[in-house]
């Protein structure tokens, strides 16, 4: 019997819907009853993670913990966060609940090390909060890998906030492809979409080097855990 997934979402809403759709697509099912049960709290009022990490805004810890408790009460057997940066408060979520949190960070790093062991220079497309919290840099450095960051982080953040405002048009897609190409020009051998808004603008087919999508890595880990 499969186990239910509780998804902390709304950071942003479009990325949450994207993750839900991917969970459905990744689940082996012959009909409705074969799919996984999802409990989703799509809460766009969670305080901004980038402002919080920078010391310019309220911490999202209390909101995330409350969401996690609510999902557990509804019947979730495991939790996941549809936001990379919110993993900076993963310990607050774990402390508030008794069910496991499946980490997007852990799933993505494991995918990189398993599927691309020869790649040593990792181009990281991540939001300010994710970078400032060292969520990916630390485990990747511990694995002996080098991190390549965009020289246009402010432009990247403009694109991310644009997605949150509904801009996934051609110009935004072209701009995100250009940022990925610049990472490759700076020596990146692998691109990591370490923000859940990135794959709404950039697909593996758009990347000039191998591409690891954190959303997909988490989805694969969740479906495996829920169905094992």
Which residues are part of the catalytic machinery? 83, 195
- H helices of the chain, in order, are 13-26, 49-53, 61-74, 90-96, 104-115, 128-132, 137-142, 153-164, 170-185, 214-227
CA atoms within 13 A on the CB side of 84: 33
Closest residue by Cα to residue 207 from 216, 197, 199: 199
Compute how many other C-beta atoms are within 10 angstroms of the C-beta atom of residue 136.
Answer: 24
Angle at 59 between CA 212 and CA 161, to 5 degrees: 45
């Amino acid at each position: 019997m499969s186990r239910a997934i509780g998804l902390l979402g709304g950071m942003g809403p479009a990325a949450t819907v994207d993750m839900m759709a991917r969970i459905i697509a990744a689940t082996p099912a012959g009909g409705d009853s074969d799919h996984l049960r999802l409990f989703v709290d799509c809460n766009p009022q969670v305080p901004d993670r980038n402002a919080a990490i920078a010391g310019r805004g309220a911490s999202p810890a209390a909101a995330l913990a409350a969401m996690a408790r609510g999902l557990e009460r509804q019947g979730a057997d495991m939790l996941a966060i549809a936001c990379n940066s919110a993993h900076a408060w993963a310990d607050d979520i774990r402390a508030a609940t008794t069910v496991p949190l499946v980490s997007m960070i852990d799933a993505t790093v494991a995918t990189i090390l398993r599927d691309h062991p020869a790649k040593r220079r990792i181009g990281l497309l991540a939001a300010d909060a994710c970078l400032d919290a060292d969520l990916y840099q630390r485990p990747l450095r511990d694995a002996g890998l080098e991190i390549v960051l965009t020289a246009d982080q402010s432009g990247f953040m403009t694109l991310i906030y644009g997605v949150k405002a509904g801009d996934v048009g051609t110009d935004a897609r072209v701009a995100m492809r250009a940022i990925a190409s610049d990472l490759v020009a700076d020596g990146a051998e692998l691109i990591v979409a370490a923000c859940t808004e990135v794959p709404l603008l950039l697909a593996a087919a758009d990347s000039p080097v191998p591409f690891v999508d954190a959303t997909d890595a988490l989805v694969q880990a969740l479906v495996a855990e829920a169905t094992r």
